[in-house]
Amino acid sequence: MTTINSERFAEICSKVWLDRSAVLTGRGLLSGEEALVRAVYWRLRNLAALPANSTENYDSPQTVSAYRVGVGRLLEINGQPNFDCSQFIDELLHRYEHESDRLEEMKYESHTKSLLPSPLL
């Protein structure tokens, strides 16, 4: 069975961040936060090589907290030495929120500029 330490888990979160464009594009009805934590969950799950016939409910969207619980449980089994994964998840979500806020500001500024009358020549 694969074991995961905090450094390896930090790598997983960093790779999710680097792949955020693809993760967020394929999120369906999930919020951005849910999509990011789901990506961490599935990468961790695949790394742990769990059986494909687990009791996942594919028909209902999972919440951030549900995926956090799933990540925590996977790390209880595979994390060595034991560590708290919440700091890594929190950092990933903080980066997303900060980037989202910045993009909203840029979008607002662009929209506001388009409403200004053009200068006379």
pLDDT value of position 40: 92
Burial class of 6 by CB neighbour count within 10 A (0 to 12, 13 to 18, 19+) = middle
Compute the average pLDDT of residues 34-39.
Answer: 91
**Whole-angstrom Cα distance, residue 65 to residue 24?**
18
Neighbours of 66 (CB within 10 A): 16
Q: What percent of the chain has pLDDT over 90?
A: 24
Distance of CA 69 to the CA centre of its chain: 14
Distance CA 114, CA 96 (A): 27
Residues 85 and 54: their CA atoms lie apart, in Å, by: 22
User: DSSP character for 119?
Assistant: P
Sorted by where each begins, the domain ranges of the chain are 6-115
Residue of higher predicted confidence among 115 and 91: 91
Residue 10 is which amino acid?
A: A
Predicted pLDDT at 49: 56
